[in-house]
Amino acid sequence: MSDVPDPTPYERIGGEAGLRRMTQRMYALMDTLPEAAAVRAQHPSSLEGSEQKLFEFLSGWLGGPPLFTQKHGAPMLRARHLPFRIGMEEASGWLACFHGAMTETVEDTELREFLWSRIEPLALHMRNLQAVPLRWADAQDA
C-alpha cells in the first residue's frame, strides 16, 4: 500500500501549463468554429477575460490552486450565467469548443473521459432558455 496520493486531474492535465494550453485553444476555437457562432456572440470582442476566468475556475475545479474563488468568490456558475441567453445552440457551441480543445491538448484518454463526463452536464445546466418555447395559448388551441 502506497502513501502517495493519486495525482489530481489538474496534475494529470499538466498543471498550469497544460490547463492554459487547453483553455487558450478552446477560445481560439470559439473564434473559428461555425457551430460556436451563437455562444461567441454572447462574449465581448476580446475573449481574453473569458479565457482567464475559465482557466481560474478549472484550476480549482480540477484540484489545483483555487484561483477563481480567491479572486471572485464562490463560483455560483448558474447565477453568473443567468444574464446571458443560453439555449441548446449556445451550450452545444461551447461544448464543441471545449471538446475540440480537450481532444487536441489532453493526451490522457482516461482524463478526457473524466473531464467530459463532468463538463457536459455542467454546461447543459447553464441553459436558461427552453429548447422549444411553450405557449399555453397555442397548446389550448391544438
Is the pTM for the entire model greater than 0.85? yes
Q: Flag whether pLDDT at 139 surpasses 60.
A: no
* Predicted confidence (pLDDT) per residue in 13-59, tens digit: 999 999 999 999 999 999 999 999 999 999 999 999 999 999 999 99
Q: Flag whether pLDDT at 137 surpasses 60.
A: no
Q: How many helices (H) and strands (E) does the chain have?
A: 9, 0
Q: Which residues contact 107 (CB under 8 A, 6 or more apart)?
A: none
| pLDDT (mean) for 98-120 | 96
Q: Which residues contact 89 (CB under 8 A, 6 or more apart)?
A: 38, 39
Per-residue pLDDT, 41 = 96
| DSSP code for 134 | -
Per-residue pLDDT, 129 = 86
Q: How far apart are the C-alpha atoms of 52 and 114, rounded to whole Å?
A: 22
Q: Which residues contact 114 (CB under 8 A, 6 or more apart)?
A: 9
Q: 47 is written with which cell numbers?
A: 475573449
Per-residue pLDDT, 56 = 97
Q: How far apart are the C-alpha atoms of 37 and 27, rounded to whole Å?
A: 12
Largest CA distance in the chain: 68
Q: Which residues contact 42 (CB under 8 A, 6 or more apart)?
A: 84, 85, 86, 90
Count of CB atoms within 10 A of residue 85's CB?
Answer: 14
Per-residue pLDDT, 8 = 96
Q: 41 is written with which cell numbers?
A: 456572440
pLDDT tier for residue 78 given thresholds of 50, 70 and 90: confident
